[in-house]
Structure 1
Amino acid sequence: MTGPRALTLLLSILLGWAGGHPVPGTKSFRKLLLISFDGFRWDYDQDVDTPNMDRLAQEGVKAKYLTPPFVTMTSPSHFTTISASFHYPGGGAKYQGEAVQRSLVESYTHPNGNETEWRQNIDIVMNWFTKEDFDFVTLYYGEPDSVGHLYGPDTEKRRAMIQQIDRTIGYLLEAIGRHSLTEHLNVIITSDHGMTTMKKKPNITEILLSNYISFKDLVQFDIVDYGGFGMLLPKLGQEEAVYQALKNAHPHLNVYKKEEFPERFHFAKHERVLPIVMYADSGYSISGRFILYFNKGDHGFDNVYMDMKTIFRAFGPDFKKNHLAEPFDSIHIYPLMCKLLGVTPEPHNGSLAVTQEMLVDTYDLHTEFCYNSLAPTPAPYVILGGWGEVYLIIRY
């Protein structure tokens, strides 16, 4: 998420609605809680004391890091997490409505970092699991993203926020025990993207597109002034002129025609992607007509950069203990969740084989739980669609 902003809390319960059906079989499946801490870079727990996160590593699974999809922003990343598709804007998945039984969404101006409210939200979730017998809940926190934007990732403010998050995880562990869910609940804790320090004058020459092109004469529509990513719709007949003017304009600006955008990003084939696509090197913002960018930290850059990587922790009765997993892409979380919940996945691009070694039980690896490739599935119903659709309300 860009810029200082308030907490948007999202709690979505996706199972138990009329259209969802578990996979037939004899195994009983446990409940699942998926938590996202916005903007939690993969190494944020390495420069501050985090006893509760350390406990998670001992009692569950810790991945070395997690790679989000491009663009490394909140909504596209969460779409990928809950669908295993490159959902926005270039994926094959389509919006099918908000498939949730209940959601709590706070206003854009609601304060982000109220630790008391964080704990109250955990209590709400525990009651949903125990008193209302829900199977799957997602919980979203807007930190440490906000402090990362406002103060930068390598600051005392950010480190203090990580300690607050660690205390919240400690409260979560206590609440799980207090509600007798230790043997009945699996928990996945992750994030949507990392954060990097932005480069500013006078140390660098900032990227200002109006130094190289005339917006009035050449550009019909633009998406710029939004960090390290941008798109342009040139006026009729001006695409080549815009491309030639920008392709070597700045040493830290990468400019492509839509059809030539690198395939590894899984991004540019959607009809709504504009003809000129660009991204900046890590730490550089793309400004259009004026320098309007003030964040000290940001994301949205190439997901190959380590500063864009994020965290993955998991614990519960179905996860191994003290297991260090190799790095993997967030697109593989969805089939893992489907297996944990015992549901048939929708068509997807993930693979259960990537995460299977995290689990205590390895049965059914080669059955429908591994189904992928965005082809039709035997099951004509949606199981895990709600989190991504609800996240359409969140700015990124």
Structure 2
Amino acid sequence: MKSFYISLVIFIVLLGHCLANKVILVSLDGFRWDYIDVAKKANRNVSAFEEIAAEGFRAKVKSVFTTVTFPTHFSIATGRYVENHGLYNNKFWDPKLNRYFSMRTTADAMDPVFLNYNKNEPIWITNQRHGKRSCVFYWPGSNNPYAGKYPFATFGLYSDLPTFEYRVDRVMDWITRDEFNFCAFYFNEPDHTAHKYGPNSVEVLDAIEHVNNGIAYLLRRIKEIPELNGKLNLIVTADHGMAEIPRENRIELWQVLKYKQSYFGNNSPGMVGLWPEKGYNATYLYDKITEAIKAGKLKKLPCVAQRGPAGTFSFEGELSHATRFPPG
């Protein structure tokens, strides 16, 4: 199946013949690994992506788990697995802080107590620690200080209003200055459209073309600046893909567990995490779900944990120390 649900496409074009001085990193939210080929078969314009692949190369990467926007972007930025950087979902519960985090809440997104977990350091801060300067446009986590440090240039709080072209213009204004050597920026398509209309919709094909045109504009702006010739690496990547799930394949936990009575959860598309309420434990939740599956009341579902002693779960591998991962 070509690792359909975890493979991403990454494009890199080396615009010089040696190691470049500057880097632009672009992330296209929800750009599934096969979207370029799908769009091309539908006679949609993907010429900018093809140009990058022809001048550089195209490769597959395997995304981290949890494969949703905030965790994967933060893994790209820090080089850490989710269990190590601690942002395991777009919204999650931290039992030590006794607080919820939501990427949509400005106060949370700017609170160091959430993003500085385990001494996280994103690449824009690492770059500056080595005497360089970074600029970031809307990359998840870029509004937060790390050890008191911010990227040297950012663009305010997140909004989906600025167009792709506007973002490119701002990035090019930054990267053409001598002091900047690294820039990262994020665009919320085709993820936004895929959530609204479905990942295999005509509207997503439109969004892919729209993104292609934005990349074409970026390439044009780069070529217009002779000073960047041989001095720039461009990386275009994505955080995750998306698949359609038939309605009959839904797993409805409320059929066997009483929400807010026996558990509360951290939910995202394709995954649910269960925290036992007071008076319950993870073993109770696990046993209730297992009984329902055996009785045919609930479809079998994948789980990364196995039942352990005294109301605990034993997680596989690196998850054993991940305090923000729920026990169920």
Q: What TM-score do the two structures reach when normalised by structure 1?
A: 0.55
Give 3-state SS (helix, strand or coil) of 2:180's partner: coil
- 1:359 aligned residue: none
Q: Percent identity?
A: 28
Verify: 1:247 aligned to 2:290, yes or no.
yes
Q: Distance in 2 between matches of 1:140 and 1:186?
A: 17
Alignment of 1:131-210 (within 5 A): 131=177, 133-180=179-226, 181-200=228-247, 204=248, 206-210=250-254
How far apart in 2 are the matches of 1:123 and 1:174?
Answer: 11
The alpha-carbon deviation at position 166 of structure 1 amounts to 1.1
Q: Deviations over 1:97-140 (max 9, x none)?
A: 443111113544x44xx6xx311221221121223531100011
Q: Is the 8 A contact 1:32 1:135 kept in 2?
A: yes
| Cα shift at 1:217 | 4.3
Task: Check conservation: 2:197, 2:204, Cα contact below 8 A.
Answer: yes
Shift of 1:271: 1.8
Counterpart residue identity of residue 273, structure 2: M
Ranges in structure 1 where 5+ consecutive residues have no aligned partner: 1-26, 277-396
**Partner of residue 255, structure 2:** 211
**Aligned equivalent of 1:262:** 316
1:84 aligns to 2:131 (yes or no): no
Equivalent-residue separation in structure 2 for 1:216 and 1:55 (angstroms)? 52
Could you tell me whether the CA contact under 8 Å between 1:40 and 1:193 is conserved in 2?
Answer: yes
> Letter of the aligned partner of 1:122 in structure 2?
V
Which residue number in structure 1 is paired with residue 34 of structure 2? Answer: 43
Kept after mapping to 1: 8 A contact 2:20/2:230: no
Q: Which structure's residues are more often helix, by fraction?
A: 2
Conserved? CA contact 2:70–2:87, under 8 Å: no
Q: Counterpart in 2 of 1:58? A: 54
**Other structure's SS at 1:161 match:** helix
Alignment of 1:1-396 (within 5 A): 30-48=21-39, 49-63=45-59, 65-86=60-81, 87-89=85-87, 92-94=118-120, 96-108=147-159, 110-111=160-161, 117-131=163-177, 133-180=179-226, 181-200=228-247, 204=248, 206-215=250-259, 217-219=261-263, 221-224=264-267, 226-234=268-276, 235-247=278-290, 249=293, 250-255=298-303, 256=305, 257=307, 259-263=313-317, 266-276=318-328
CA 1:217–1:173 in 2, change beyond 3 Å: closer, same or farther? Answer: closer
Amino acid in the other structure paired with 1:215: Y
**Are 1:42 and 1:66, in contact at CA under 8 Å, matched by a contact in 2?**
no
Shift of 1:262: 3.1
With over 3 angstroms needed to count, the CA separation of the structure-2 counterparts of 1:269 and 1:130, relative to structure 1, is same
1:36 Cα offset (Å): 0.4
- The alpha-carbon deviation at position 228 of structure 1 amounts to 1.7
**Cα distance, 1:205–1:171 mapped onto 2, change above 3 Å:** closer
Alpha-carbon distance change, 131 to 214 in structure 1, aligned in 2, over 3 angstroms: closer
* Alignment partner, residue 19 of structure 1: none
**CA separation in 2, counterparts of 1:253 and 1:30?**
48
- Report the Cα offset of residue 185 of structure 1: 0.8
Q: Is the 8 A contact 2:30 2:240 kept in 1?
A: yes
Asked if the contact 1:77–1:192 (Cα under 8 Å) also holds between the matched residues in 2, the reply is yes
Q: Distance in 1 between matches of 2:52 and 2:260?
A: 55
Letter in 2 for 1:190: T
Q: In 2, Cα distance between the equivalents of 1:165 and 1:252?
A: 38
- In the TM superposition, residue 168 of structure 1 has moved relative to its aligned partner by 1.2
Residues 177, 88 of structure 1: alpha-carbon distance in 2 compared, 3 angstrom cutoff: same
Q: Distance in 2 between matches of 1:52 and 1:268?
A: 43
What residue number does 2:143 align with? none
Deviations 1:61-111 (A, max 9, x none): 210x22110000111111111211112347855353443111113544x44
RMSD: 2.4
Q: Is the 8 A contact 2:251 2:299 kept in 1?
A: no
Tell me the distance in 2 between the aligned counterparts of 1:240 and 1:261: 13
Q: Distance in 2 between matches of 1:198 and 1:205?
A: 7
Change (3 A) 1:156 1:252: farther
The aligned amino acid for 2:181 is D
Shift of 1:229: 1.3
**Deviation (angstroms), 1:214:** 2.6
Equivalents in 2 of 1:129, 1:68: separation in Å? Answer: 28
Question: Closer, same or farther in 2 for the Cα pair 1:190/1:97, shift >3 Å?
Answer: farther
Paired residues, number = 237
